[in-house]
Structure formats: C-alpha cells, structure tokens
Amino acid sequence: YIPYILTTAHTEADFLIKSIRFKATDYLVKPVNVKDFIQKAQIACQNRYHENIKKQSQADLKQITNVINEVALVSKTDLKGNITYANKLFCRVAGYKKSEIIGQTHGALLHPDANTSEIQDLNKEIQLGNIWEGKIHNISKDGSDYHISASVIPLYDEYDSDIIEFMWISFLTTEDEIEKKEFKKKVAINVKETRRINLEARKSIDELEAQLLKYKHFDLIEYSLEVERKRSAKFKNQIKYYEKEVTNRKSKFELMSQEANRRIDKANLLSKEQSDKKDLAIITLESLNKELEIREGDVGVLNKEIENQINLIEDLKSSIEAKEEQL
C-alpha cells in the first residue's frame, strides 16, 4: 500500500473535496515539514494495516460462525427465557420451524425424563452472570429424544454492566454427531491455521517491502556521496594545477632575479675595471637600473598574482575539508 498525500498551498473547501474525489489519503499545506510528511505517511500505512487486519478478522469470524452453525445448535434467549433466535441446525434437530421455535422456552423442549435439578442449576448460574455447561435431555417434535452438551453464556450490554440476553451453544452427543463435530472442528482449526499462516506471510512480505524501501533510500545516499566524492576529486585536481602553476612562476621569477643580479655584478665589475670609461659605465648602469626597476615591477606583479593563487588554494582546501566533514 502506497499512501497518496497531497501537498498544496490551497485550503479552500472545494479544492479539498476534489482531492477526496481523487482518493487522497491526506494532505499537507505548503511549506511542507518533512517530519509531518513522514508522520502522516506512517499513520496512513498503520491505518491501512489495521483495516486489513480488521477485515481479515471479520472474514475469519464469519467463517468460524459458518462452521459453528454447521455443527452446533445455536440459539438466544431473552431475560425471561424466551427464544429470540435459533439457527437452522437447532430447528432441524428439534423438528420445528423457526417461526414455531421463536417465543418458546428451552423448557418446552425438555424430555420428561430430564434432570430437573440440572435445569434449576442452569437458571441459577446464568442469572448470576456465570457460564453454565452441562448435558440436557431434549425431545423433538416427532417424539424422538436427543441429548445435547450445552454451554449457556450471558451476554452484556456495551458497558459490560447489565445482562441483556443469553447465548446457547449446544452439540449433539450421539456417536455419529460427535464424529461429525470432531471432523468439522478439525476443518475449522485448519481454516484458522491457514489464515494465521497467510497473515504471518503477509506481515513478512510487508516487512521485506519496507526493508527494500530503506535499501533504495541507502542507494540514493550512496549516489549523493559518490557525486560529492567526484566533486572533491575535481577540486583537488584544480588545486594541484594551481600549485604547479605557482611553482613554475616562482622558478621563472628566480631565474629573472638571478639574471638581473648577474648583470648588476657585471656592470659593477666593468665600472671598476674601466674607470676611464666612467661616463659610459654610468650610462650603462643607469640603463641596467631602469631595466631592473622594470623587472622589479614585473616581480611585484608576479608576487601579487602568487599571493592571490595561494589564497584561492587555501579557500579551496577549506571548502574540501568542510565537505569531507559533512560526508
């Protein structure tokens, strides 16, 4: 069973009536709270489960009642002892039509040789609210006698305070009828056991289906984790690329610095060795100084770019560490 829960921003009566026509299990007003949604889904599933159990119990009860009606003489009497209900087997064994039985008392069916003290004990016990069990000797309309093993059960009102009627369940005690009763009893037991097995099987199937839903949920989580892993790997590759780029630029910067220093050293050496060419050396030195200033400007730009790259790398690392902690 899959509950159909409608999520809507509308609360008008017409709209809700339409949702009922579409057999919606329940509805939630947006924005939807996940906890409320899960709770309503659980309640809907539980209600459907209990409905199925109730239907199954009613079907079992009906089947058991049918079996009892086949093998037992069932009747009801009011507080005065008048018969208000009799099943077909009761009428058939007694030899009366149902219309002839209704309104009579069980005393009218007693055999003249019946144990009167037993009947007095019966009336006393049931009036006290106790269940009576015993054997009764009856006589049918055609004069043939029959013995029954009877159970008389007081039935109470809905508040369980006052007795409103009595249920009589009796079984014939002749050898053939006892054999038939035992056979029917076995049939009823087998039917009940089959229902129980089917109910347990249905419960096991429901549990397995619930577990499958959980596994599907786990698959979704695993997929999300795999996506995050791939994104993290991509960030790591980008960081490696930026680190390599920074390293290359540092190497170029070092080479440029070394070349500038070499030229300065060479200029200083020429200045010392060629004092007579002082003016020319000064000019050369100024030219080199200008070039050095240009190079130093380039170096400053490179340093700024390197600093930006390092900050970017640190941000990426922090982002990856945060995502790994979430995973």
pLDDT in tens, 120-134: 999 999 999 999 999
Count other Cβ atoms within 10 Å, centred on residue 136: 22
Q: What is the pLDDT of residues 60-119, one digit of tens each?
A: 767 877 878 888 999 999 999 999 999 999 999 999 999 999 999 999 999 999 988 888
Packing angle of the helix pair 175-273, 34-71 (nearest 10 deg): 160
Domain boundaries, the chain: 1-68, 72-173, 219-326
Query: 31 is written with which tokens?
Result: 């924005």
Whether the full predicted model's pTM is greater than 0.75, yes or no, is no
The values of phi and psi at residue 221, to 5°, are -65, -45
Alpha helices in 95-174 (DSSP H): 98-101, 116-127
Answer yes or no: are the C-beta atoms of 171 and 147 closer than 8 Å.
Answer: no
Q: State which residues of the chain have pLDDT below 70.
A: 1-13, 15-29, 61, 174-184, 187, 209, 211-225, 227-228, 232, 235, 239, 242, 246, 250, 253, 257, 260-261, 264, 267-268, 271-285, 299, 320-321, 323-327
Give me the CATH code for the 72-173 domain, please: 3.30.450.20
Domain 1-68 has CATH 3.40.50.2300: yes
CA 258/CA 271 separation, integer angstroms: 20
CA 252/CA 62 separation, integer angstroms: 94
C-alpha distances in angstroms, 327 versus 229, 235, 237, 239?
9, 16, 19, 20
